Structure 1
Amino acid sequence: MPKQKTHKGTAKRVRVTGTGKLVREHTNNQHKFEHKSSSRKRRVSGIGVLSPADTKNMKKLLGL
């Protein structure tokens, strides 16, 4: 049986923490910041943990 390939699009966007959680960057945090409010920019900065509902499918795509 062939090996399962990692989904490269997912691998570029999601990473695994030391405890096994999946984290991703928030959306709307790349450019055009002059049109966004300060509170919105603070809210989308940093990383977010994937919900348990999405984690199962993402782990399958990552080959975990």
Structure 2
Amino acid sequence: MPKMKSNSGAKKRFKVTGSGKIKRKKAFKRHILTKKSSKTKRKLGESTIVTDADTPKVKELIPYKF
């Protein structure tokens, strides 16, 4: 059976935690930052976990990280 290709963009964007959850960065931190409060920008800098609904889709994109 041929080897499945991982999605190159997904490989760079997602990491797997020790417990098997998928970690991602938050959006909206690239530009137009002057109108955002310091608290908002600080919170956007943190990583978060991919939701349960999206986890199967991401696992399909990066099959060899599990």
TM-score, normalized by the shorter chain, greater than 0.5: yes
Structure number with higher helix proportion:
1
Which structure 2 residues correspond to residues 41-52 of structure 1 after superposition, within 5 A? 41-52=41-52
Q: Could you tell me the percent identity over the aligned residues?
A: 38
Alpha-carbon distance between aligned partners in 2 of 1:4 and 1:11, rounded to the nearest angstrom? 14
| 1:14 aligned residue | 14
Task: Give 1:59 shift.
Answer: 0.6
AA partner of residue 48 (structure 1)? T
TM-score normalised by L of structure 1: 0.85
CA distance in 2, matches of 1:25, 1:53: 17
Q: Which sections of structure 2, spanning at least 5 residues, go unmatched?
A: none
Tell me the equivalent position of 1:40.
40
How many residue pairs are counted as aligned between the two chains? 64
**What does residue 3 of structure 2 align with?**
3
